[in-house]
Structure 1
């Protein structure tokens, strides 16, 4: 068997090498090129295409898969909360709606979030059970605004 008569094995081998290289930590780039090579190998196995056509298909599939991967990563990053900063996980609390558990008088009180309570500040006095929304976090104190009952 001459290699020129069975180009699918070349692309299967190229795909395997690229996938092994991905295991060494290329950050995804070799993964998509390896998958493109395997797809071209499958196409070459089914259809008798010339070498130039197969290499063009490999280039096209590599570019398409790399673009789709990039678009997916970008979408995933945009879906993550932009409020969360490194070492400030409490920023995730902004926007949460909750209730007052200790009346807010003279601007200070407590609110319930999940299974705990947090110190809270508000511009107005609020009684226990009043709904509020977290609008900011200053250290371990939440700034809240009153919501309509």
Structure 2
């Protein structure tokens, strides 16, 4: 019969492989807990199955809870393809007049977030040919002001 330590070790390695395939960080803690139980069984081979299960549950759920409390979530999934503030302050040339009632277009000499031309909105009138500075990114448009 296969020893319990080998079963826990195999379970831990399988869960770590699942974690590497998914990249969620949730399965990681269960895999590490399985490896710790296998190590504990190597040190103390007479541990009962009840203690093994309680140890596995405590280690996996405890480490998951600690990770969730200390994890700093950065929501990038909702801003795919959008700048997150690093393009604010860039200066471009208006190629279509922009005002509070009309969207314009701005062009940059170097690509900005993958494009050289963007739809621009502003609270003031900025004539074509004038320079404007990016003050915010609003969805697929840039909020600009005269420079």
Q: Is the 8 A contact 2:94 2:107 kept in 1?
A: yes
Query: Between Structure 1 and Structure 2, how many residues are aligned?
Result: 131
Return the TM-score normalized by structure 2. 0.58
Q: Is the 8 A contact 2:135 2:144 kept in 1?
A: yes
Match in the other structure for 2:119: 119
The gaps in structure 1 that reach 5 residues or longer are: 4-8
Q: Is the 8 A contact 2:105 2:117 kept in 1?
A: no
Larger RCO, structure (CA 8 Å, separation 6 or more):
2
Greater helix percent: which structure?
1
The gaps in structure 2 that reach 5 residues or longer are: none
Q: CA RMSD in A?
A: 4.1
Equivalent-residue separation in structure 1 for 2:31 and 2:71 (angstroms):
23
Match in the other structure for 1:128: 130
For residues 1-149 of structure 1, the aligned pairs below 5 Å read 9-17=3-11, 19-20=13-14, 31-47=28-44, 50-51=47-48, 52-68=50-66, 71=68, 75=71, 78-81=73-76, 83-84=78-79, 89=80, 92-93=82-83, 95=85, 96-97=87-88, 98-102=90-94, 105=97, 107=99, 108-112=104-108, 113-114=112-113, 116-126=116-126, 128-137=130-139, 142-146=141-145
